[in-house]
Chain A
Amino acid sequence: MIPLDTLYLAAVAGAIALVFLLKPGSGSRRRAAVLVALAALGGIFAEGLRALAPGEPGTILPTIFGAIAVIAAVRMITISRPVLAALHFVVVVVASSSMFLLLQAEFMAFALIIVYAGAILITYLFVLMLARQSPTDSSEGPFDYDAIPREPVAACLVGLVLLASISGAIVQDAESIRGTLESPETVAAAEIGGFEDLEAMPRLLDEMATKAFPGASGVAMDESGRRLRIHRRVITTEDGQEAIEVTADATVLFPGGELPTIWTLTAADLPGNTRLVGMKLVASFPISLELAGVILLMAMYGAVVLARRQIELGEDERREAAGLPRLSVEDVDPAGGAA
């Protein structure tokens, strides 16, 4: 059982500071709130990382990017000018995509920057520009609804409960997170999965075989339709530790009657992140992919329908659009006309 007192204390301090940051306030109280918030952030990080990654190298970069993301997020919800809030959200996006890079999710990191910072945020800025009328800007300060929060204490209480339960659960589970992370079984299972994905990409496999063996025509398929024979064995390394080694054998064919060669692939030959993510996307989640397309189409229709300027058509215009003659005074039912 890991004691969570310090973590919860830091969360409470952070929530109280956030209440004061949300309220429009004078200089000194705000500065004090900023200091308390920073201290609380430091406390949460120190306490969390002490449980999650004790003595591990490489927690510096995630801490720096995480601090940037969290500070920018707090600025985003406390700043009164909406345009600056949107720009702070860009900082959050860039910081989280650097964290994606640290987690070796290269494709998602750049997709995030392109889609979020490039597309979604620009749409937000457009709507802000459309909605904001210039005269009130800068001369009279922000609108009331930007400056004064709604129930900051209750909101921060909800946030505190949420943060305490999520981070408490993460820290409580630190043992199992550390155990799964980089355990030989996890790595071996991932490597086997990677080889299976590679086997499902025969053209890539043939290309790699031609690169490795100039003049080769491709990789042979055996009777059961397999191209790779995946082996998993426990080996003992030089320093006497046991490790699991995963390799795959392929039979490389040559066109001109030359004898086939056995080609052994190691984990270093596995395709990169983008190829494997693409493979996973189309091989494991094809229906979801189609549904995502449908969602986007529906959203497009919905946005067009919602944002279109609604024009009230009179009876005459509708009749004209339907190709009917306009209503004349004599056509009108006498009773209705008299009313």
Chain B
Amino acid sequence: MNFAPPLLAAEAALPGAVGGVLLVSALLFSIGMVGFLARRNMIIMFLSTELMFQAAALAMVAFGRMHLDLSGQVFVIFILTVAAAEAALALGLVVLLYRRRETLSADAWSEIHE
């Protein structure tokens, strides 16, 4: 049973990777936020929230790698769970709304707010 110890193989590690991945996660989160605010298609809006989940997962794993603590990766499992649940509910909602108005535009529902 000759396990390679991936978590602790310091010589194979890329210390520079953590900083780069943290930057990428900041960029992806901001882009997801812009997409959620600027797009009018409901499906793209939900896709942008998935992008933000992705950025959070990247940050979790990067910080976990920084502290050599596996809790970060465990949190990603929970992020995946919540993302899957959110996708199921959001898409159910989109299908329901599409049946009522025959359009994916979020503006079609803007009169809901008072």
Binding site for B on A (CB under 8 A): 18, 22, 41, 44-45, 48-49, 51-53, 56-59, 61-63, 65-66, 69-70, 73-74, 76-77, 82, 85-86, 89, 92-93, 96, 99-100, 102-108, 111-112, 115-116, 119-120, 123-124, 127-128, 130-131, 143-146, 148-152, 154-156, 158-160, 162-163, 166-167, 170, 174, 177-178, 180-182, 186-187, 189-191, 193-194, 207-208, 211, 267-273, 275-277, 280-281, 284-285, 288, 292, 295-296, 298-300, 302-307, 309
Cβ–Cβ < 8 Å partners of B37 in chain A: 150-151, 154-155, 158-159
CB distance from B85 to the nearest CB of A (A): 3
Can you show 27 pairs from A to B with CB atoms below 8 A apart?
A41-B27, A59-B14, A61-B14, A62-B21, A70-B27, A92-B28, A92-B51, A99-B58, A99-B61, A102-B17, A103-B64, A104-B65, A116-B80, A131-B95, A149-B40, A150-B40, A151-B38, A182-B13, A187-B68, A190-B68, A271-B3, A272-B5, A273-B73, A277-B73, A300-B88, A307-B92, A309-B99
- Asked whether A77 lies within 8 Å of B61 as measured between CB atoms, the reply is no
- Asked whether A170 lies within 8 Å of B22 as measured between CB atoms, the reply is yes
Which residues of chain B from 48 to 74 have any CB-CB distance to chain A below 8 Å in the complex?
A: 48, 50-51, 54, 57-58, 61-62, 64-71, 73-74
- Asked whether B78 lies within 8 Å of A155 as measured between CB atoms, the reply is no
* Residue among A51, A77, A303 with most chain B CB within 10 A: A77
Cβ–Cβ < 8 Å partners of B91 in chain A: 123-124, 127, 303, 307
Q: A288 contacts which of B65, B76, B78, B105 (Cβ < 8 Å)?
A: B78
Q: How far is the CA of A193 from the CA of B26 in the complex (A)?
A: 30
Which residues of chain B from 1 to 15 have any CB-CB distance to chain A below 8 Å in the complex?
A: 1, 3-10, 12-15
Q: B7 contacts which of A143, A178, A273 (Cβ < 8 Å)?
A: A273
CB distance from A250 to the nearest CB of B (A): 14
Q: How far is the CA of A40 from the CA of B103 in the complex (A)?
A: 36
Cβ–Cβ < 8 Å partners of A170 in chain B: 19, 22-23, 26
Q: Which 6 A-B pairs have the closest CB atoms?
A: A52-B19, A77-B35, A58-B14, A299-B85, A190-B68, A62-B20
